[in-house]
Structure 1
Amino acid sequence: MIDFLRGPVVHLENEYVVMDVHGVGYRVFCPNPYAIAKAEGETMVYIHHHVREDAIQLFGFPTRDEQKLFRKLIEVSGIGPRVALGILSGGSPEGVITAIYQENITFLTKLPGIGKKTAQRMILDLKDKLDGIGDSMMATGLFAATTTAPAASGGDVWSEVREALKALGYTDTELDRVWQTLKHEVFPEDTVDAVMKRALKMLYTG
Structure 2
Amino acid sequence: MIASLSGTVLKAGLDSVVVAVGGVGMLVHTTPATAASVRVGQAAELATTLVVREDSLTLYGFATDDEKHVFETVQTVSGVGPRLALALLAVHDPTSVRRALGSSDIAALTKVPGIGKKGAERLVLELRDKLGALGGSTGAPGVTTHRTDGEQWREQVREALVGLGWTVRQADDALDRVAPQAADGASVSAMLRAALQELGR
Cα separation, 2, equivalents of 1:201 and 1:111? 15
Q: TM-score, normalised by structure 2?
A: 0.68
Matched, 1:65 2:58: no
Aligned residue number for residue 110 of structure 2 = 109
1:57-136 equivalences under 5 Å are 57-132=58-133, 134-136=134-136
Return closer, same or farther for 1:88/1:10 CA change in 2, 3 Å cut-off. same
Cα separation, 1, equivalents of 2:122 and 2:73? 12
Cα displacement (A) at 1:201: 5.7
Cα displacement (A) at 1:12: 2.6
Which amino acid is 1:199 matched to?
A: A
Aligned residue number for residue 185 of structure 1 = 178
Q: Which runs of 5+ in 2 are unaligned?
A: 149-174, 180-187, 194-201
Residue 5 of structure 2 aligns to a residue whose secondary structure is: strand
Aligned residue number for residue 31 of structure 1 = 31
Cα displacement (A) at 1:136: 2.9
- Post-superposition Cα deviations, 1:125-152, rounded to whole Å, max 9, x if no partner, equal 10011114x43349xxxxxxxxxxxxxx
- Post-superposition Cα deviations, 1:56-113, rounded to whole Å, max 9, x if no partner, equal 1100000000000000011111110001111111111110111000000011001121
Return closer, same or farther for 1:137/1:60 CA change in 2, 3 Å cut-off. closer
Report the count of equivalent residues.
159
Cα separation, 1, equivalents of 2:25 and 2:120? 36
Equivalent pairs: percent with the same residue? 37
Aligned residue number for residue 50 of structure 2 = 49
2:6·2:45 contact (CA, 8 Å) conserved in 1?
Answer: yes
CA RMSD of superposed structures (Å): 3.3
Residue 98 of structure 2 aligns to a residue whose secondary structure is: helix
Which amino acid is 1:113 matched to?
A: G
Q: TM-score, normalised by structure 1?
A: 0.66
Return closer, same or farther for 1:25/1:40 CA change in 2, 3 Å cut-off. closer
Matched, 1:199 2:190: yes
Which amino acid is 2:26 matched to?
A: Y
Larger RCO, structures 1/2 (Cα 8 Å, 6+ apart) = 2
